[in-house]
Amino acid sequence: MLSIISILLIVTALAGFLIISWAGLVSLSEKEPRAARWFFFLSVLAPLPYLFLAFADFPYHSEIGIGLLVITYGKLFIFFVPAGKNKSYRQPVPAKQIDERDTMFSRNELKPGTIEFDEYYKNNPGKKNADDRFRKKPGLLKPGTTQYNPFHFASADASFETIEELRSFVDGTVSGEQVSTEPEKITRYIKSWSKKLGAVDCGVTELKKYHLYSVGGRAERRNKPVVNNHKYAIAFTVEMDRAMISSAPRGTVVMESGQQYLESGKIALQVAAFIRKLGYEARAHIDGNYQVVCPLVARDAGLGEIGRMGLLMTPKLGSRVRISVVTTNLPLITDKPLHEYSMIDFCEKCKKCAGACPSKAISFDTRTEIGGVRRWQINQEACFTLWCNLGTDCARCISVCPFSHPDNTLHNVVRFGIKNSSLFRIAALKLDNAFYGRKPATAPLPGWTEI
C-alpha cells in the first residue's frame, strides 16, 4: 500500500513530466530545437528522484521524500509570491526635446556638397568622422552589403516605397461639421477598430512637449521647427513575425521591418482620416514622416517601457513591434503609463542584447543620468554603420531578447513570474540562457523566403 508521501511524489513526478514535455512540444512548434532538446531531456531526468523515493525502501526515505516535496513546492511559492517590486518607480521624463536632425536617418539624407551638409557639420563637427564611416559603406538595401539578397531587399524596398507614396495622406482636410462624441465611447471604439485593422495594442496619452521633435530633420521638414498643438496622441503597435526576426541580421529582417512599418502606418492613416471626418484635427505619424518620438509616446500611453536597447519593450512581445502614432484634438480618455519596474530590473540583469550586438552599440552598464534622466543610451553611430555594412536593420538585439518570445501560455507564465518576483527574474534569465543560449544562433530563413 503506497503512503500519502509516495502518492504525492508520484503525482509530482507525473505532473513534472507532462508539463516539461508540453514545453518541449511548444518549443518544437516554435522551431527552437535547442530548447526542445533540453525540455525533453529534463522531462525524463527531473521525475526520477521523485519516483525513486516513491518506491524506495530504506531508512528515512519518507523523510527525504517530504524534504524533496517541501523544496519543490517551496521554490514555486518563493518564485511566484510577489517580491522585489518597486512601487515608487516612475518612468523618467526627458528634460529636453530631441532634434530630429541629430538622428541617423536624418544625417544619412545629407548629401556632401550641399548647403544642408555643410551647415550641419559646421554646427556639429564632432559627428563628422563617425558619419564619414557609415558613408563609406554600401548602405541600407544596397548591393555589396554582406547580407545582400536581391529578392529580400527588393521586397523590403517595395514596402518602404509604398510608405513613401502615402506621405501626402498623413494630414488632410478636416470636415466642417463636427460630430459630437463621448470621450469614453470614442476611445473604446478607436482601440477596438485599430485592433481589427491589425494592431496588437493601442494606448492614449496626453501629447507632451518632449514627445515632439524640436526641429524636423527629414525631407521637406528639415530645419523647420515642429509645431503640433494637438492635445492627445494615440499609439499603435503591430507585431513583427518571430520567424522573420529570428533570422537576424539577414535580409528577411528588413523585409519584415518594412512590412510592419507599412502595416502600422496604414492603421494610423485610417484612424487619422476617420477622426478628420468627424470634424477634428488629426495627423498620422508614420515611417519617415514623424513629428513625434514614437517609443516615448507609446510608453506614456501604457504600452511598455524603454529597454536597454533603446526600443519600446512591450510586456508580451518585447521590442518585436513597430509603432505608429496619431495626434489629435479629438477628446479622448488617456491610459496610465505602466511604470513597470520589473521590466527595467530584468533589463538591468539580462544584457543579452548587449552581448549579441555585432556593433557593440548597446551598453552593458547600469542606467546612467543622460539629459537629466536615468536611462540607457545606445551608440547610434556604431549601430547605423553596421546597418550600412549589412544592408539590413540588423535586429539581433530584438531576436535574442527574452521578452520577444512568442505570446503563448508557456512564455506568458514566465512573464508572469518575471513581473511578480525579483527571485524569479534571476532564475528566468539563467533558464533562458540555458535553453536558448546566451548568444542564440541566427535561425534558418523561413522556407518560403528562399528563392
pLDDT in tens, the chain (451 residues): 578 999 999 999 999 999 999 999 999 999 999 999 999 999 999 999 999 999 988 888 889 999 999 999 988 888 878 877 777 888 889 989 999 999 999 999 999 999 999 999 999 999 999 999 999 999 999 999 999 999 999 999 999 999 999 999 999 999 999 999 999 999 999 999 999 999 999 999 999 999 999 999 999 999 999 999 999 999 999 999 999 999 999 999 999 999 999 999 999 999 999 999 999 999 999 999 999 999 999 999 999 999 999 999 999 999 999 999 999 999 999 999 999 999 999 999 999 999 999 999 999 999 998 877 889 999 999 999 999 999 999 999 999 999 999 999 999 999 999 999 998 999 999 999 999 999 999 999 999 999 8
Q: What's the gap between Cα 347 and its chain centre?
A: 12
Q: Cα separation of 387 and 66, whole Å? A: 57
Q: Cα separation of 392 and 355, whole Å? A: 19
222, 119 Cβ separation under 8 angstroms:
no
Q: Residue 133 to residues 113, 266, 446: CA-CA distances in angstroms?
A: 17, 35, 33
How far apart, in Å, do the first and last CA atoms of the chain sit? 64
| Residue of 395, 200, 224 lying closest to 303 (CA atoms) | 200
Q: Cα separation of 159 and 162, whole Å? A: 5
Task: Give the residue carrying C-alpha cell 517609443.
Answer: 295
- Return the biggest CA–CA distance within the chain: 91
For residue 1, what pLDDT is reported?
A: 57
Q: Edge-to-edge strands of the sheet including 321-328?
A: 201-206, 232-239, 321-328, 282-285
Q: Cα separation of 347 and 362, whole Å? A: 12
Q: Cα separation of 61 and 50, whole Å? A: 11
The helices-and-strands tally (H runs, E runs) of the chain is 18, 8
> SS3 of 312, please?
strand
Task: Report CA torsion sign: 371, 377, 382, 387.
Answer: negative
pLDDT in tens, 247-268: 999 999 999 999 999 999 999 9
In this structure, what are the phi and psi dihedrals at residue 358, rounded to the nearest 5 degrees?
Answer: -65, -25
Q: What's the gap between Cα 174 and its chain centre?
A: 34
In this structure, what are the phi and psi dihedrals at residue 338, rounded to the nearest 5 degrees?
Answer: -70, -40
For residue 259, what pLDDT is reported?
A: 98
